[in-house]
């Protein structure tokens, strides 16, 4: 029986830390978004800004496939993300953690982001009003070192982004003058940014009536677990 | 072809209810995330059943006393049972207070065979609870899971259920697949998936071919398949694998605060579990020993089939310390020693990876980060969702402190199947405002729109005024009236509308006592 005293180095913890370093270059990504961005997946180390009226929904669907395949997602300083909408979009809420940020201090927000990036592969955040350049650099370094992905809801402020998903021109279906009910939204989404080479724009159903993202041709994505 | 070690499982399904100390005829229910997990005989007499929601139960029995589950309270009451069992064997494994296992072979030799042992055991346990509470389920079978299944059958049959050695297969074929989740052997996800595929009995599962099961459901599916075939190869607490791992915390200054003991144990638990994980294994049984300056001792061996995360170990340290301090006179001085031993580890066969929850390397990394985040941001600032249910998207999930739940327990986010009549239809809003924003909803002459007692709007809403900003309503739907606690004079009446504004944004607005507010936004 080995008794590990106080002074013994925590081998296990160190080994795990390095073993966790990304073995693959990308995290799983919804095929509709992958198509829009002209990539295979969410590239580790990248910062993706989701903007416009569908910013929240975009961030959630961008994270959903990775979380469904086992990644954990931390939401730092974003108030009131609807958990049910996330679950409907295919993001399993059992691997979702939310961290409240006290005040507007860039420092505490940055410390929380850095700590979260150590253990979470996906981070969804709203940066504070001003992100000083050294903070932005520290976050970028940690993202690269840990192989995580940062999804920004709204204005990225001082953060350098690799990809931007811009939403515009939303129109809701199913609701009239006191009739029907909201039954899904069409929204124009354009992929841009310095790491986007074959990006394009498309009219997406986000959310569709089932709460999920559907592409321009409304091809229903293949469920992760098809019936036997 | 059973092959497991003869094992006895004892199960008091209603232990959380009886541990509260009320007489059995008092209607009492214990809840987790608003769903009943245990009820007293008095509650059953009113038709209240485990699995129901709090509200449904209150409707059936308005006098129902409801308590949140508190494992520390349950454990404090359970210590008397554990003291009785200590006379039989040192090898008692605690799954939960009210759910334990012991190896059958040693004690049955000692007391003259299984039958004699069971009779003696039942006799000794009879006086544990006041008359009126049912006797525990007692199951004996080859292996840990099969004895747990036998104990569940015993609860229904009202007498001990003994599955003869080597005869386990035919005994389980008729049991529902969901019992595997009930005894903690497989995640509920697997059960619901099997259910959707029409596989509801263990016999149906047993008939599937092994390669199909493995390719379809992975290692967890294989484990379930083996159990369905009556094979239970993981031994109960008789074998210590190679060198057990231990971390010990001896302190010079005795600790007098329960929370300080738990806090100090945290880092040790992480180290122990990290050490186990670094060799590709998971810890399924941990022995927690806590000693005081006066050599008082609290010692338990905790078992968890899916593996114990550091957070799960810390939970158990907390229950043990709190239960100890709840027993008058049990602890008279400060804590000077905490020892955590990984009593049983098994290869991480991959059943912890991937879609079926459990523990993976990513889980461990996330849990470590959560611990760190809690110390940075404060415990209350790190939160996870739990399913609550309800008509409005605002109430269906609730955020709770990450330190108050088992993060690896996926059941906390499972949505109930029951449809909520009158609920706001899908899709759900992507932003839920925790503090609804007060607004004004006006008709064409600038008068506030109201919802009548008959659930109709007083006029067509045309403008939404949000502080100084005024936006036109381009489309709307509803109202969805909502009467909460309608049986009570303090009940709430409200109604909700979906509105689309001219800027393309859509919101869920609610009115209560003539005040409109934006509860959620479809962002």
Determine which of A69, A112, A121, A178 to mutate to test the interface with B (most B C-beta atoms within 10 Å).
A178
Residue B408: count of CB within 10 angstroms of its CB:
25
Scanning every residue of chain B, which has its alpha carbon at the shortest distance from the alpha carbon of A79? B433
Q: Is the dihedral of CA A77, A78, A81, A87 positive or negative?
A: negative
Report the DSSP pairing between strands B463-466 and B431-442: antiparallel
Give the contacts of A119 (CB within 8 A, at least 6 positions apart): A72, A74, B365, B366, B367, B368, B369, B370, B372
Determine which of A87, A117, A119 to mutate to test the interface with B (most B C-beta atoms within 10 Å).
A119
Name the pLDDT band for B112 (thresholds 50, 70, 90).
confident
Measured in angstroms, the CA of A114 and the nearest CA of chain B are apart by: 10
Contact A70 B523 (CB under 8 A): no
| Digit-coded pLDDT (tens) for B60-73 | 999 999 998 889 99
Contact B523 A178 (CB under 8 A): no
Contact A178 B476 (CB under 8 A): yes
Contact B523 A180 (CB under 8 A): no
Rounded Cα distance between B103 and A79, Å, is: 51
Measured in angstroms, the CA of B165 and the nearest CA of chain A are apart by: 34
Minimum mean pLDDT among B93-102, B118-127, B163-172, B403-412: which range? Answer: B163-172
| Digit-coded pLDDT (tens) for B180-231 | 888 888 877 788 778 877 888 999 998 888 888 887 787 788 888 888 888 7
Tell me the residue length of chain B: 523
Pseudo-torsion of CA B303, B307, B311, B313, nearest 10°? 30
Which single residue is written with the structure tokens 């409907």? A88
Which single residue is written with the structure tokens 């809003």? B429
Determine which of B384, B427, B458, B480 to mutate to test the interface with A (most A C-beta atoms within 10 Å).
B427
Mean of pLDDT over chain B? 84
Contact B216 A228 (CB under 8 A): yes
Query: For residue A97, what is the enclosing H or E element?
Result: strand A96-99
| Digit-coded pLDDT (tens) for A19-70 | 333 346 889 999 899 989 988 889 999 999 999 999 999 999 999 999 988 8
CATH domain B244-423 topology: Dna Ligase; domain 1 (3.30.1490)
- Is the predicted pLDDT of residue B307 greater than 90, yes or no? no
The residue extents of the domains of chain B are: 71-228, 244-423, 431-521
**Which pLDDT score, from 0 to 100, does residue B418 have?**
63
Q: What is the mean pLDDT of residues B110-137?
A: 89
Check if B306 contacts A (Cβ < 8 Å): no
CATH domain A25-173+182-205 topology: Rossmann fold (3.40.50)
Give the contacts of B295 (CB within 8 A, at least 6 positions apart): none
Minimum mean pLDDT among A50-54, A224-228, B150-154, B399-403: which range? Answer: A224-228
Contact A53 B503 (CB under 8 A): yes
Scanning every residue of chain A, which has its alpha carbon at the shortest distance from the alpha carbon of B216? A228
Contact A94 B271 (CB under 8 A): no
Check if B384 contacts A (Cβ < 8 Å): yes
The residue extents of the domains of chain A are: 25-173+182-205
Share of chain B above pLDDT 70, in %: 90
């Amino acid at each position: 029986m080995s008794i590990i005293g106080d002074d013994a180095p925590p081998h296990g913890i160190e080994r795990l830390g390095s073993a966790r370093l990304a073995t693959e270059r990308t995290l799983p990504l919804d095929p509709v978004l992958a198509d829009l961005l002209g990539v295979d997946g969410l590239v580790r180390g990248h910062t993706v800004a989701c903007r416009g009226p569908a910013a929240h929904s975009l961030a959630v669907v961008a994270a959903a496939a990775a979380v469904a395949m086992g990644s954990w997602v931390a939401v730092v300083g974003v108030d009131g993300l609807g958990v049910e909408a996330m679950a409907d979009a295919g993001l399993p809420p059992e691997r979702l953690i939310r961290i409240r940020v006290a005040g507007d201090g860039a420092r505490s927000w940055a410390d929380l982001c850095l700590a979260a990036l150590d253990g979470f592969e996906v981070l969804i955040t709203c940066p504070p009003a001003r992100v000083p350049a050294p903070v932005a650099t520290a976050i970028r370094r940690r993202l690269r070192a840990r192989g995580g992905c940062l999804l920004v809801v709204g204005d990225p402020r001082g953060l350098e982004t690799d990809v931007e998903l811009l939403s515009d021109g939303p129109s809701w279906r199913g609701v009239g003058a006191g009739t029907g009910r909201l039954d899904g939204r069409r929204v124009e989404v354009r992929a841009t940014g310095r790491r986007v080479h074959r990006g394009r724009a498309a009219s997406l159903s986000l959310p569709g009536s089932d709460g999920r993202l559907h592409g321009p041709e409304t091809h229903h994505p293949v469920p992760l677990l098809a019936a036997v | 072809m059973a092959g497991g070690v003869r094992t006895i499982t004892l199960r008091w399904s209603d232990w959380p209810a009886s541990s509260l100390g009320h007489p059995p005829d008092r209607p009492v229910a214990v809840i987790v995330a608003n769903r009943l997990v245990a009820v007293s005989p008095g509650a059953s007499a009113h038709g209240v059943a485990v699995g129901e929601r709090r509200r449904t139960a209150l409707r059936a029995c308005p006098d129902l006393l409801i308590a949140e589950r508190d494992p520390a309270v349950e454990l404090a009451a359970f210590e008397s049972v554990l003291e009785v069992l200590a006379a039989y064997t040192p090898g008692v494994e605690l799954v939960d207070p009210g759910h334990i296992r012991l190896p059958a072979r040693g004690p049955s030799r000692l007391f003259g065979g299984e039958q004699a042992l069971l009779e003696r055991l039942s006799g000794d346990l009879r006086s544990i609870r006041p008359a009126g509470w049912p006797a525990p389920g007692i199951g004996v079978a080859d292996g840990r899971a099969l004895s747990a299944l036998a104990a569940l059958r015993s609860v229904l049959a009202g007498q001990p259920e003994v599955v003869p050695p080597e005869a386990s297969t035919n005994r389980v074929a008729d049991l529902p697949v969901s019992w595997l989740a009930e005894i903690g052997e497989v995640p509920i996800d697997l059960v619901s998936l099997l259910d959707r595929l029409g596989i509801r009995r263990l016999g149906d599962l047993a008939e599937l071919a092994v390669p199909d099961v493995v390719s379809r459901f992975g290692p967890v599916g294989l484990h379930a398949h083996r159990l369905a075939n009556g094979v239970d190869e993981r031994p109960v607490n008789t074998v210590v694998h190679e060198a057990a791992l231990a971390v010990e915390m001896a302190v010079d200054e005795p600790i007098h605060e329960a929370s300080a003991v738990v806090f100090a144990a945290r880092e040790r638990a992480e180290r122990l579990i990290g050490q186990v994980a670094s060799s590709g294994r998971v810890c399924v049984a941990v022995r927690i020993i806590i000693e005081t300056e006066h050599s008082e001792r609290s010692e338990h061996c905790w078992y968890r089939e899916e593996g114990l995360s550091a957070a799960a170990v810390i939970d158990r340290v907390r229950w043990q310390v709190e239960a100890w301090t709840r027993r008058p006179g049990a602890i008279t001085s400060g804590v000077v020693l905490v020892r955590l031993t990984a009593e049983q580890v098994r290869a991480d066969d991959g059943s912890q990876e991937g879609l079926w929850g459990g523990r993976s390397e990513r889980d461990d990394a996330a849990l470590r980060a959560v611990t760190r985040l809690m110390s940075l941001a404060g415990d209350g600032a790190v939160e996870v969702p739990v399913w609550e249910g309800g008509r409005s998207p605002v109430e269906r999930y609730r955020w709770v402190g990450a330190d108050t739940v088992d993060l690896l327990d996926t059941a906390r986010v499972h949505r109930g199947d029951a449809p909520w009549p009158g609920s706001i239809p899908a899709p759900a809003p992507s932003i839920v405002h925790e503090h609804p924003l007060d607004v004004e909803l006006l008709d064409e002459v600038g008068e506030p729109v109201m919802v009548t007692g008959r659930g109709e709007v007083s006029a067509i809403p045309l403008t939404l005024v949000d502080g100084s900003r005024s936006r036109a309503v381009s489309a709307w739907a509803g109202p969805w009236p909502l009467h909460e606690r309608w049986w009570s004079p303090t009940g709430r009446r409200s109604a909700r509308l979906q509105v689309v504004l001219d800027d393309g944004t859509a919101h869920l607005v609610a009115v209560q006592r003539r005040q409109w507010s934006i509860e959620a936004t479809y962002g």
